[in-house]
Amino acid sequence: MDKKQAKLRVEKLKVEINHHRYLYHVLDKPEISDSAWDSLKHELSELENKFPEFITPDSPTQRVGGKPLPFFKKVAHRAPMLSLEDVFTTEEFEAWLTRISKIVPTDKLDFFGELKVDGFAMSLTYKKSVLNIGATRGDGKTGEDVTENIKTIQSIPLKLREPKESEIKNIGLNADKVLKLISSGEIEIRGEVFMTKSVFESINKEQKKLGLAEYANPRNTAAGTVRQLDPSIVAKRKLDFLAYGLVTDLGQTEHNQEHLLLKLLGFKTDIEARELKNIKDVTNFWNEIHKKREKMAWEIDGLVISVNNNQIFSKLGVVGKAPRGAVAFKFPGIEATTKVLDIIIQVGRTGVLTPVAVLDEVDINGVNVTRATLHNEDEIKRLDIRMGDTVIVQRAGDVIPDVVSVLKNLRPKNSKEFKFPKKCPVCDGEVIRQEGEAAHKCINKKCSAKHREGLYHFVSKKAFNIVGLGPEIIDKLVDESLVKDSSDIFKLEPKHLLGLEGFAEVSAKKLVSSIQKSKKISLARFIYALGIIHVGEETANLLAVYFNSIENLTLTSEEDLKKVPGVGEKAAKSIKQWLEDKDNKELLKKLVKEIDIQSPPKISKKLAGKTFVLTGTLETLSRDSAKEKIRLMGGDISSSVSKETTYVVAGENAGSKFDKAGKLGVKIISEKEFLNLMD
């Protein structure tokens, strides 16, 4: 290839690579796989090595060009980077509206609403359409030049997209003016640098693996990353960017128009953002997003509501460091502070002693929280938590609330340290902590706490699934000696239940019938119900398919157990131990007499070597039955999409797994195609 040809090829590659970057990182609609994209970048970098004179600052290869910096240069902001006033309730929002209405009494106000992403504000300046400076907010007047770092963010264009004339006209702007400013002027835009929840989790997983401290939250991690002096580290952190403001006057008159224009310039913008006519629209928008909040790919802490008309917005001016024309309408926090009244110990089915903080009741995001888990002794030491302390508690999603930290300045003089018990608080049995393990365990075989928890597990949804038989009733049955072990459950008759508090004739019959119905059970569920340590749902399934009957399982050796694909050494040992126990042998004998275990049909090899990922709602099959079918045909199931995935079976409302499959080039099939595979 001669120099002229190379120049042409370099130009074309740059356009093509940038196009696919835009499809992938901004629109989230990739057309080619990651590896194909990498190979284009590789070709470009080879050509640039050969002909360095063709390297331009906007080349995709220049994203991680910089060497580590000794320090960041200061940058003065042309227009100050302001912060926002917070409101937390509709009343506070109305009060804000009343205040600003007094300043512009003759103007009709409508609004623009967008997500308030929990990230790090950034100013980007483009000179003649090429990215020139990326600067942090700093104190609002002066920030730091972090250009080399933000260049590594794939959703930030190194060169502005050149919109078509018709696109500019469509949003009501003068195409000549806009295009001229893009190509020859300076354009400043603003937005938020952030880290998605999934990237944050994988970084923490990596930290944990390396034995390093985990990061507290995506926001701080993103902020810390942007201020890294070494761009190559920043590149690994996979930051993202959403644009929300255009500082330069391109003729825009409304905030809404600004968003549309940012999109035309090649930025990722908030797809939830919208115009809002009145307070009702604002509260509806708030409610809608608040509900979706936990499912979103990145953390948001509220909405930004701005006066849509830019002229009125500037007329409203600035008070302190915040513009009057916008507010942050926040969501309730997922953290709150409260006092630790007590620390107690709960004993689980496997004998693990879990310390739990009993809290002064506190409302966190609409839920009354009275307890938080303290996990284990190490966590208590790490937090240095004492009874009487004021703590920050977090409740995210449906998980058990967690103590984030202790506010030690608020510690009272009479605070009490917690001593981890040497004996089981329920049965007084011996407690040990094995080397390399974080948990203390009660090793008394007859521990009544373990026994009860084992029964709760036995009747639970994924085990015998006995509808209407929850922990409360089990407790009564155990207290009345009606149930000594799990086999007694099946001997219950309505007359036994009638003597218990809360039971009448109808309810007693109903529960007995529900117990009778549960007697017919698959081998896999039965094995799971036994509650053997290290045998979860998945291992129980593998064992059922491999051994095909409970007799075969009981006759097996530890060596044989280790041969079952997917069954680890720990599980094999634990299963053998359980099966050899005299009491367990007795129990099994009794159980087998009472119930009807269904062996799985013989396994076929039709799907052997193939790995499936299920996503979305299937039309005719439940998730569980689809999984069962795959297992019975010798296939494997994975919960996440990787290059090892053979098929992604996509039902309705397929989510991120679908997108990831597309990116990795993994074959996506419909439910119908899936069923055809098995025919």
- Catalytic residue numbers read 116
Contact yes or no for 225/150 (Cβ under 8 A): no
* Residue number, 158 or 424, with CB nearest to Zn ion: 424
Q: How far is the CB of 371 from Zn ion (least distance, A)?
A: 20
Kind of pairing between the strands at 85-87 and 326-330: parallel
* Residue number, 431 or 614, with CB nearest to Zn ion: 431
Across 374-422, the runs of DSSP E, i.e. the strands, are 390-394, 402-406
- The DSSP result for 559-600, as a single string, is HHHHHSTT--HHHHHHHHHHHH-HHHHHHHHHHHHH-EEEPP
* Residue number, 108 or 446, with CB nearest to Zn ion: 446
Token look-up 């709150």 returns 336
Q: How far is the CB of 212 from Zn ion (least distance, A)?
A: 36
* Residue number, 305 or 442, with CB nearest to Zn ion: 442
Q: How far is the CB of 349 from Zn ion (least distance, A)?
A: 11
178 makes contact with Zn ion (CB under 5 A): no
Q: Could you tell me which residues come within 8 angstroms of residue 10 by beta carbon, excluding any fewer than 6 positions away?
A: 44, 47, 48, 51, 54
Three-class secondary structure of residue 26 per DSSP? helix
Phi (first) and psi of residue 613, to 5 degrees:
-125, 130
Q: How far is the CB of 450 from Zn ion (least distance, A)?
A: 6
Is residue 470 left, alpha or beta, with left meaning phi > 0 and alpha meaning psi from -120 to 50? beta
* Residue number, 334 or 442, with CB nearest to Zn ion: 442
Contact yes or no for 356/425 (Cβ under 8 A): no
3-state helix, strand, coil in the chain (%, to 5): 40, 20, 35
> What part of residues 421-450 is at the interface with Zn ion (CB under 5 A)?
424, 426-427, 429, 442, 444, 447
Q: How far is the CB of 421 from Zn ion (least distance, A)?
A: 10
Q: How far is the CB of 344 from Zn ion (least distance, A)?
A: 14
In this structure, the dihedral spanned by the alpha carbons of residues 491, 495, 496 and 499, taken in order and rounded to 10 degrees, is 170
CA distance 122 to 268: 14
Residues in the interface with Zn ion (CB under 5 A) total: 7
Q: How far is the CB of 400 from Zn ion (least distance, A)?
A: 21
* Residue number, 431 or 588, with CB nearest to Zn ion: 431
Q: Which helix (H) or strand (E) holds 475?
A: helix 471-479
| Contact characters 473-492, Zn ion, x per CB under 5 A | --------------------
> What part of residues 365-394 is at the interface with Zn ion (CB under 5 A)?
none
* Residue number, 350 or 514, with CB nearest to Zn ion: 350
Residue 423 structure tokens: 């004996």
* Residue number, 419 or 605, with CB nearest to Zn ion: 419
Q: How far is the CB of 528 from Zn ion (least distance, A)?
A: 23
Give the interface segment with Zn ion, choosing from 114-122, 417-425, 469-477, 639-647 (CB under 5 A). Answer: 417-425
* Residue number, 427 or 524, with CB nearest to Zn ion: 427
Residue type, 149: N
Phi (first) and psi of residue 647, to 5 degrees:
-135, 145
Q: How far is the CB of 442 from Zn ion (least distance, A)?
A: 3
How many C-beta neighbours within 10 Å does residue 437 have?
Answer: 11
DSSP lists the bridge partners of residue 355 as 345
Q: What is the length of the chain? A: 679
CA distance 561 to 547: 10
Contact yes or no for 35/643 (Cβ under 8 A): no
- The DSSP result for 120-161, as a single string, is EEEEEEEETTEEEEEEE-TTSSEEEB-HHHHTT-TTS-SB--
Distances in Å between the Cα of 645 and the Cα atoms of 611, 616, 654 are 5, 16, 16
Which residues of this chain interact with Zn ion, rule CB under 5 A? 424, 426-427, 429, 442, 444, 447
